[in-house]
Amino acid sequence: MDLSLKYYYVNLPMIEPFVYSEETEVSRNGYIFRLSTDEVTAFSECVSNDNPFYLYEYNTTSINVIKEYLSKHIGDLPEPHEFLQRVEHIKGHEFAKGALEMLLWDYKAKKQGLPLYKILDGGTKGYAETGLSIGLDSTDKMVKKVERAVNKHYKRIKVKISKGREQDILSAVRDRFPEIKLTADANSNYRISDIELLKKIDKFNLTYLEQPLNSDDLIDHSSLRKQISTPICLDESIISPEKMRKALEIRALDVVNIKPGRVGGFYNSLKIAKIAQDNGIHVWIGGMEETSVGKNYNVAIASSKLIDYPGDTGPTSELFSRDIATNPLTMENGIVKPSDEIGIGVHIDEAFLDKVTVHSGVIKLS
């Protein structure tokens, strides 16, 4: 059987910059993978960024680990969980592992002739409730963006905050929209020493406060959770089912944001979601400003019955004036449905992919 793995490093400009406490993103820079066999062409997206501001992994480390250590383990097209078992000795690098693990899910679904969401454990709702994330900007502009999101019927609005601006942003949004399902994302910008600032967030009746402390501060998150009434959502802290178990053991969270690429792919995502459901923890699917390739994966898993909160699964038209797919998913009244075409269901716009590709190459699978 002829088998090839090609990568494309893309630079896809955003409609407007997306700002959070650690950086400003003006484009989606990342790797798209194409696995081609005699019968099937599968796609995936590595969701790391060009810098190590979110987690230690970034695009340079991801592509190096994939080329040098991971790709040799997919040449016989193993089941996704078998691939993860084979690469367990490679420490960390969940973004890189996730890119190839999800590639195998698309291959598996296409071989079966089924949409990806229909082969996932846990059952499906057939749809995903969708929220929108509002990046840092002037307070007036953020309020206007929230208003546009409310008018589009997003099911949850998340605003980015940073230390020293939380009161201004949340007061303005809550005063204007007292009833909406509102959350705040701190992207690890606070420390437990900021407890008095964080206590003041309680008055805004947030559905949850996302990742207020550092990614490795599980103990401090547990302490913070005991001192404030706002539910705590963990994002960067949960990089594996084992981390989820430890966070539960010390009662460090009420909600978990699962980004499949961050936890090594779908197999681990589903395990984390099941652990959460069994322990009364709310679950939603986050995103990393993906193209339609990554977005379709996120919507497929967000439609699972294991997921009970709206996620960052809105259409890519919120981010890009043009996507690398000719059939991007659309939203209606805050609902996005996963593709009913086989696999992830993405039709690649080959001409536009070529246009936004900075460089590409073929990876040996032996």
pLDDT in tens, 238-285: 999 999 999 999 999 999 999 999 999 999 999 999 999 999 999 999
Beta pairing class for 41-46 and 23-36: antiparallel
Produce one character per residue of 89-101: b if its CB has 16 or more CB atoms within 10 Å, e if not.
eeeebbbbbbbbb
Pick the catalytic residue: 97, 108, 160, 243?
Answer: 160
CA distance 232 to 352: 41
* Catalytically annotated residue among 110, 155, 243, 259: 259
Helix axes 266-278, 94-112, angle to 10 degrees: 100
Q: Reply yes or no on whether 97 is catalytic.
A: no
**262-288 CB burial, b ≥16 within 10 A, e <16:** bbbbbbbbbbbbbbbbeeebbbbbbbb
Q: How far is CA 87 from the centre of its chain?
A: 22
User: Which DSSP state fits 79?
Assistant: -
Report the pLDDT value the prediction gives residue 64, as an integer from 0 to 100: 97
* Residue whose entry in the numeric block shows the structure tokens 């609005």: 157
pTM for this entry = 0.95
For 17, 196, 222, 274, 281, the CA distances from 249, given in Å and listed in that order, are 38, 26, 10, 15, 12
Element housing 233 (H / E): strand 232-234
Which pLDDT belongs to residue 306? Answer: 98
- In 3D space, the residue among 288, 224, 55 whose CA is nearest the CA of residue 233 turns out to be 224
**pLDDT beneath 70: ranges in the chain:** none
Measured CA to CA, the distance from residue 202 to residue 228 in angstroms comes to 7
DSSP string computed for 338-350 = PP-SSBT---B-H
Quote the crossing angle between the two packed helices 266-278 and 241-249, to the nearest 10°.
20
Q: What share of the chain is helix, strand, coil (3-state, %, to 5)?
A: 40, 25, 40
Residue 160 falls in the annotated catalytic set: yes
In whole angstroms, what is the distance from residue 251 CA to residue 204 CA?
23
Angle CA(340)–CA(40)–CA(103) in degrees, nearest 5? 75
Residue-range domains of the chain with CATH: 4-114+347-363 (3.30.390.10), 118-336 (3.20.20.120)
Residues 6+ apart with CB under 8 A from 277: 283, 306, 308
136: left (phi over 0), alpha (psi -120 to 50) or beta: beta
Cα-Cα end-to-end distance for the chain: 14
- Dist CA 146 CA 148 (whole Å): 5
C-alpha 97/C-alpha 298 separation (Å) is: 16
The span from the CA of 291 to the CA of 322, in Å, is 10
Cβ atoms of 69 and 19 closer than 8 Å: no
Round to whole Å and give the CA distance between 61 and 54: 14
**How high is the pLDDT of residue 248?**
98
**How far apart, in Å, are the Cα atoms of 125 and each of 13, 118, 121, 301?**
33, 10, 12, 10
pLDDT of residue 101: 98
| Whole-angstrom distance, CA of residue 132 vs CA of residue 54 | 19
Structure-derived torsion over alpha carbons of residues 260, 266, 271, 274, reported in degrees to the nearest 10: 80
